[in-house]
Chain A
Amino acid sequence: AQSVTQLGSHVSVSEGALVLLRCNYSSSVPPYLFWYVQYPNQGLQLLLKYTSAATLVKGINGFEAEFKKSETSFHLTKPSAHMSDAAEYFCAIAGGGTSYGKLTFGQGTILTVHP
């Protein structure tokens, strides 16, 4: 079975500071990995995805993530936080022959940005 673990349910940064949201995965097959963002009272929006091409993936709003197989990690980063980045972020995993497109989500990390 596949799973992802997000380290830290809450992360707080100052505006302009580095954002680092951690995600570690477990999978017996090569995984597909995703980061989604959820703004208050809205649905989820895809930030970026890793589909076995480049290990460094760039997404929307200046976010990027690096797939590290040796560390089984897919951490999300942004060099400089903006107030509008405040949201909940979810890491998700998929893969495997008969999983029929099912995504398994992590517990979520709430990002707070202070002025």
Chain B
Amino acid sequence: NAGVTQTPKFQVLKTGQSMTLQCAQDMNHEYMSWYRQDPGMGLRLIHYSVGAGITDQGEVPNGYNVSRSTTEDFPLRLLSAAPSQTSVYFCASRRTSGFTDTQYFGPGTRLTVL
């Protein structure tokens, strides 16, 4: 198993540009989520999905969209990039929504918005 994969690893955008961060998992996990990591703030939940076709907002959803058309993929879209979205983005997956299941993280995408 490749686990949780994310592309790209690095990205530089100009303010106002849009882009999609890709996330895929090959473990047939129901639950997937996106976090952003900023210095001194830990990880904050952006959006999550409990299954194909079902998504919901997390703690910091503004400026981001998600969809889940398949079990494997959970892309994160930045609609109009802003410097405040400069961050490291992590995708994670878990077998179910249950807390006892281990959550697996991807390697991250480092995004800079100029």
Interface residues of A (CB under 8 A from B): 9, 32, 36, 41-46, 49, 51, 90, 94-95, 100-108
Contacts and interface: CB of A to CB of B under 8 A. Distances in A.
**6 shortest A-B CB distances, which residue pairs?**
A43-B105, A105-B42, A101-B97, A32-B99, A105-B43, A44-B105
Interface of B: 4, 31, 33, 35, 40-45, 48, 50, 56, 58-59, 90, 92, 94, 96-100, 102-103, 105-108
Given A100-B48, A101-B31, A101-B97, A46 B103 contact: yes
A102 B45 contact: yes
B40 A101 contact: no
A44 B43 contact: yes
Given A95-B99, A105-B43, A45 B56 contact: no
A75 to B, nearest CB: 17
Contacts of A108: 40, 42
B37 to A, nearest CB: 8
Given A42-B108, A108-B40, 9 more contacts: A32-B100, A43-B90, A43-B107, A43-B108, A49-B100, A94-B99, A100-B48, A104-B59, A106-B42
Main SS of chain A's interface residues?
Answer: loop
Nearest to A44: B105
Contact of B42 (A94, A101, A107): A107
Given A46-B102, A51-B99, A101-B98, A90 B50 contact: no
A32 B105 CA distance: 18
Contacts of B92: 44
A95 B4 CA distance: 24
Contacts of B107: 41-43
21 contacts: A41-B108, A44-B90, A46-B103, A51-B99, A90-B42, A95-B99, A100-B48, A100-B56, A100-B97, A101-B31, A101-B33, A101-B48, A101-B96, A102-B33, A102-B45, A102-B58, A103-B43, A106-B42, A107-B41, A108-B40, A108-B42
